[in-house]
């Protein structure tokens, strides 16, 4: 019975709690029990906080019994990626030197979810400072994919996606600086949403003006993503991009039935010269057919000039070098060789090259917005092949249809970094499985600040597909 509770959607669980048909204590205890049972298998948590979570669940239940009006997430268990500050619960950034770091306050997104009644049960794994698309670190080892324990769960929000896919909680806070929510969502068969710049305030961004990183939801359904956005979104003085963001009601009574009818969907499988695995291409073509059946006008677009990885790398790695090089110099042996190599690589970029990359970012932003003069949505595969083998590093080659490619960022997820730079909302939703049994993701992209329209379209796509599949996770590692 406890596992069945964990597999409820957040929207379903919230309704049961409001009707007093489900106890917050029962739901939180079920999530904690499943987390503790699967942690030796998946290794998706850095910290669990059962005592605090159960205390909050008991308080939530008592409030209901007193007749107090519940928040929209009242009594629902929540996980938070270990890059995001949580008051009184350690936030390690996936690193050994910060293993005992305990923030004094919640990040704004966390505070808002907790303010609506969500209950933190634990912090999910991330590579050091979220610096790669696989989730491993000297602090905790490797996080495994619940669909295949010998595959990576992706990254950098790999722990969030793995825990969500495995049915531990329905709600997770992730982050996304170049695809870190959408990549693991595709790898694990869940929903990963990167909202428009400023839709959810990012109170930990050091460069709030030039920011390209986002605090984001990860869920199993698009409806639950809307629920999280309803709680997380809105202006806050810590984030200048949030101050002009339009107010949005993410919780209408029902998704409009015509969400995709007449919508102009422009698609591109890959930027010119980039590979796409045959399984992914087949799933993508089937997804386009589903969009067309729902009434969308589906036409291709030319992806020329949208290969942004070199630009993203100059901007992103110089930011990382400024932030993390002083820490690495203090204790170089405490950090992985992979992280050190990434930080060292940014030494080659001059201040002029950084500014040129920022000019290029603006040009690409304008190019993408011009696409939306003839489109309501863009569609492409989230990643070019299914999850890579466990232990793959960002500097390894990537096999796609029997050929090795030498740059994982440029060849595995060429479409995710683009929308970090432009600020457009982008969502990864499951759209099938490969012959290896692993999930495949479709990325849909909307106009800036048209987040709700994008979520409605994604939900219509989701509902028109087969029932949600769930991985069967063993209680112990083989052997």
Spell out the residues 6+ positions from residue 466 whose beta carbon is closer than 8 angstroms to its own. Answer: none
- The active-site residue out of 23, 133, 137, 156 is 156
For residue 82, the 8-state DSSP code is: T
- The active-site residue out of 81, 123, 194, 263 is 81
Q: Distance between CA atoms of 303 and 329, rounded to whole angstroms?
A: 41
Spell out the residues 6+ positions from residue 279 whose beta carbon is closer than 8 angstroms to its own. Answer: 385, 386, 434, 435, 436, 440
Tell me if residue 165 falls in helix, strand or coil. helix
3-state secondary structure 140-153: CEECEECCEEEEEC
Q: Kindly write down the DSSP assignment for every residue of 211-235, as one continuous string.
A: ---EEEEEESSHHHHHHHHHHH-S-
For residue 430, the 8-state DSSP code is: E
156 an active-site residue? yes
CB 375 within 8 A of CB 264: yes
Distances (CA, A) of 245 to 198, 209, 240: 6, 14, 9
194 an active-site residue? no
- The active-site residue out of 133, 180, 233, 259 is 180
Mode of pairing for the β-strands spanning 403-405 and 144-145: unpaired
Partners of 441 in beta bridges:
430
Active site residues: 81, 156, 180
């Amino acid at each position: 019975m406890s596992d069945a509770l964990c597999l409820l959607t957040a929207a379903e669980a919230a309704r049961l709690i409001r009707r007093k048909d489900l106890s917050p204590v029962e739901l939180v205890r079920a999530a904690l029990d499943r987390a503790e049972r699967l942690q030796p298998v998946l290794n998706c948590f850095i910290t669990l906080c059962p005592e605090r979570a159960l205390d909050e669940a008991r308080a939530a239940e008592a409030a209901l019994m007193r007749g107090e009006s519940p928040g929209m997430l009242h009594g629902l268990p929540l996980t938070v990626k270990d890059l995001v500050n949580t008051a009184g619960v350690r936030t390690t950034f996936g690193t050994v030197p910060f293993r005992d770091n305990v923030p004094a306050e919640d990040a704004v997104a966390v505070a808002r979810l907790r303010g609506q009644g969500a209950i933190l049960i634990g912090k999910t794994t991330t590579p050091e400072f979220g610096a790669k698309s696989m989730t491993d670190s000297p602090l905790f080892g490797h996080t495994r994919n619940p669909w295949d324990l010998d595959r990576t769960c992706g990254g950098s929000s790999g722990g969030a996606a793995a825990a969500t896919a495995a049915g531990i909680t329905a709600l997770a806070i992730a982050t996304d600086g170049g695809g870190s929510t959408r990549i693991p969502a595709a790898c694990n068969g869940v929903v990963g949403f990167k909202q428009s710049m400023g839709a959810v305030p990012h109170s930990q961004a050091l460069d709030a003006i030039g920011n390209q990183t986002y605090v984001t939801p990860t869920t199993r359904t698009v409806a639950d993503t809307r629920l999280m956005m309803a709680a997380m979104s809105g202006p806050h003085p810590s984030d200048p991009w949030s101050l002009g963001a339009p107010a949005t009601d993410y919780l209408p009574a029902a998704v409009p039935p015509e969400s995709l009818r007449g919508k102009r969907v422009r698609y591109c499988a890959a930027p010119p010269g980039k590979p796409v695995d045959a399984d992914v291409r087949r799933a993508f073509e089937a997804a386009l057919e589903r969009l067309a059946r729902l009434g969308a006008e589906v036409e291709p677009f030319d992806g020329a000039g949208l290969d942004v990885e070199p630009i993203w790398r100059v901007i992103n790695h110089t930011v990382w070098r400024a932030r993390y090089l002083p820490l690495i110099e203090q204790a170089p042996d405490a950090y992985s060789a992979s992280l050190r190599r990434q930080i060292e690589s940014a030494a080659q970029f001059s201040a002029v090259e950084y500014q040129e990359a920022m000019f290029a970012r603006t040009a690409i932003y304008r190019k993408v917005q011009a696409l939306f003069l003839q489109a309501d949505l863009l569609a492409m595969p989230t990643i070019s092949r299914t999850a890579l083998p466990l232990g793959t590093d960002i500097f390894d080659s990537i096999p796609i249809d029997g050929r090795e490619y030498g740059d994982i960022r440029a060849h595995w997820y060429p479409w995710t970094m683009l929308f970090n730079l432009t600020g457009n909302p982008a969502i990864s939703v499951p759209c099938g499985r490969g012959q290896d049994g692993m999930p495949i993701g479709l990325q849909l992209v909307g106009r800036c600040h048209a987040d709700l329209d994008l979520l409605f379209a994604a939900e219509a796509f989701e509902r028109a597909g087969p029932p949600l599949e769930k991985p069967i996770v063993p209680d112990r590692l083989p052997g």
